[in-house]
Amino acid sequence: MYKKLQKAVAFMCILALMFSAAACSAKPTDQSASGTGSTAEAKPAKEIEFWTVFTGPDGENMVKMIDAYNQTNPKIKVKHVPIQADELYQKVPTAVKSGENVPDLSIVHVERIKGFVANDLLQPLDDYTSQNGKINADGYVKAAWEKGEIDGKRYSVPLDVHSFVTYYNKDLLQKYGPAVLDDGAITFDEVKQVGEAAKKDKVISMGITWMRVKFLSWYEQLGGVLSEDGINPSFANDKAETVLNTVKALHDNGFTNVDGEDPVQMFRAGSVVFLPEGIWMKNSFEEINTLNFGMTHMITFDPAKKANWTSSHQMVMFKNADMTPERAAAVMDFVAWIGENSLEWAKAGQVPASLKIMENDEFKNMKQSFLLNEPDSLKIFDYEYFGYAVEALDKIVWEVPFGRMETKEALTKAQKEVQDRIANK
Amino acid sequence: MKNQIALAQTPNLSLKNPRAKKITFSKLVPYLFIAPHLILFIIFFAIPAITGIYISFTKWNLYSAPEWVGLKNYFEILVNQDSTFYHQLHNGLLNTIKYTCFSVPFFIAIPLLLAVALNTKTYGSKVFQSIFYMPTLLSISSVILTWIFMFHRNLGSINNILGINVNWFGQQPFTWIAIVIISLWWGIGGNMVIYLAALNGIDKALYESADIDGASAIHKFFHVTIPGIKHQLLYTLVLTTVAQFNIYGQPLMFSKGAPGESTRVLMMYIRELAFGSGESIAGLASAMAVILGLCIMAVSAIQFRLMRNKD
Which pLDDT score, from 0 to 100, does residue A14 have? 45
In terms of Cβ atoms closer than 10 Å to its own Cβ (0-12, 13-18, 19+), residue A142 is middle
Which pLDDT score, from 0 to 100, does residue B17 have? 55
Neighbours of B148 (CB within 10 A): 18
> Minimal Cα–Cα distance from A337 to chain B, Å?
31
CB contact under 8 A, A391 and B276: yes
- Are B108 and B98 in contact by the 8 Å Cβ rule? The answer is no
CB contact under 8 A, B260 and A385: no
Which pLDDT score, from 0 to 100, does residue B22 have? 59
What is d(CA B245, CA B228) in angstroms, rounded to the nearest whole number?
A: 28
CB contact under 8 A, B169 and A259: yes
pTM: 0.81
Nearest CA in chain B to A386: B278
CB contact under 8 A, B61 and A425: yes
Q: Name chain A contacts of B197, Cβ cutoff 8 Å.
A: 1, 4-5, 8
Dump the DSSP string for A369-382: GHHHHSGGGEEE--
Instruction: End-to-end CA distance of chain A: give it in Å, rounded.
Output: 56
Asked whether the predicted pLDDT for residue B8 surpasses 50, the reply is no
Which pLDDT score, from 0 to 100, does residue B101 have? 93
ipTM of the complex as predicted: 0.79
Q: Name chain A contacts of B260, Cβ cutoff 8 Å.
A: 399, 404-405
CB contact under 8 A, A5 and B197: yes
The answer for residues whose C-beta is within 8 angstroms of residue B224's C-beta and 6 or more apart is B202, B206, B207, B210, B215
Which pLDDT score, from 0 to 100, does residue A10 have? 46
What is d(CA B227, CA B229) in angstroms, rounded to the nearest whole number?
A: 6
Output the furthest CA–CA distance in chain A (Å, rounded).
79
CB contact under 8 A, B279 and A425: yes
What is d(CA B239, CA B259) in angstroms, rounded to the nearest whole number?
A: 29
Nearest CA in chain A to B61: A425
What are A311's strand-pairing partners? A162
Q: Of the candidates A39, A37, A124, A36, which has an alpha carbon nearest to the alpha carbon of residue A82?
A: A36
Output the furthest CA–CA distance in chain B (Å, rounded).
88
Which pLDDT score, from 0 to 100, does residue B12 have? 46
What is d(CA A301, CA A218) in angstroms, rounded to the nearest whole number?
A: 8
Over residues A253-311, the pLDDT tens digits come to: 999 999 888 899 899 999 999 999 999 888 889 889 899 999 999 999 998 888 999 99
Which pLDDT score, from 0 to 100, does residue B308 have? 74
Which pLDDT score, from 0 to 100, does residue A97 have? 85
Q: For chain A, which residues score pLDDT lower than 50?
A: 1-3, 5, 8-44
Over residues A141-157, the pLDDT tens digits come to: 998 999 999 999 999 99
- Find the CB nearest B276 among A12, A121, A387: A387
Q: With residue A117 as reference, give the H or E element that holds it.
A: helix A113-118
Asked whether the predicted pLDDT for residue B121 surpasses 60, the reply is yes
What is d(CA B33, CA B35) in angstroms, rounded to the nearest whole number?
A: 6
Which pLDDT score, from 0 to 100, does residue B309 have? 67
Which pLDDT score, from 0 to 100, does residue A21 have? 38
Residue B311 pLDDT level (bands cut at 50, 70, 90): low
> Minimal Cα–Cα distance from B6 to chain A, Å?
34
Which pLDDT score, from 0 to 100, does residue A42 have? 40
CB contact under 8 A, A420 and B261: no
The answer for residues whose C-beta is within 8 angstroms of residue A401's C-beta and 6 or more apart is A208, A211, A244, A247, A248, A250, A251, A256
DSSP category for residue B135? G
Average pLDDT (B175-198) is 93
Asked whether the predicted pLDDT for residue B304 surpasses 90, the reply is no
Nearest CA in chain A to B63: A93
Over residues A356-399, the pLDDT tens digits come to: 898 888 998 898 888 888 888 899 988 889 999 999 999 999 99
Over residues B81-109, the pLDDT tens digits come to: 999 999 999 999 999 999 999 999 999 99
Over residues B247-302, the pLDDT tens digits come to: 888 999 998 887 888 999 999 999 999 988 888 899 999 999 999 999 989 988 88
Give helix B282-310 / helix B266-275 axis angle, nearest 10°.
150
